[in-house]
Amino acid sequence: MDRLYSLIGLAFRANKLLYGIKAMEAIEKKKVHLVILSNEASEKTRKKVLDKCAAYQVSVKYVDSKDDLSKAIGKENIVMVAIIDLGFTQSILKA
């Protein structure tokens, strides 16, 4: 799991990761290759993200802790991030 969060942090520093409303907009623009969603996300957030990902055929990877996800990118209360780079997507899926 440490490798996963390291890759997420690296993607953030390389500007290949979005979160919040920008991530949702990028999904609609078909720029997102992978969404990483915390199991701790609220039911409303989970439904919104999963419906959007299904509509635009974006893969979803789950992580256990929103705290670890938030820490990986140096923010607070992050439950979902979107990866917009194919190389990072492939590496994260292997991690």
pLDDT at res. 31: 97
State the pairing for strand pair 34-38/80-83: antiparallel
What per-residue confidence (pLDDT) applies to 67? 96
The pLDDT tens digits for 12-65 are 999 999 999 999 999 999 999 999 999 999 999 999 999 999 999 999 999 999
Residue whose C-alpha is closest to residue 66's, from 50, 48, 79: 79
Q: How far apart, in whole angstroms, are the C-alpha atoms of residue 67 and residue 58? A: 23
Cα separation, 4 vs 95, whole angstroms: 5
Q: What pLDDT, on a 0 to 100 scale, did the predictor assign at position 71?
A: 96
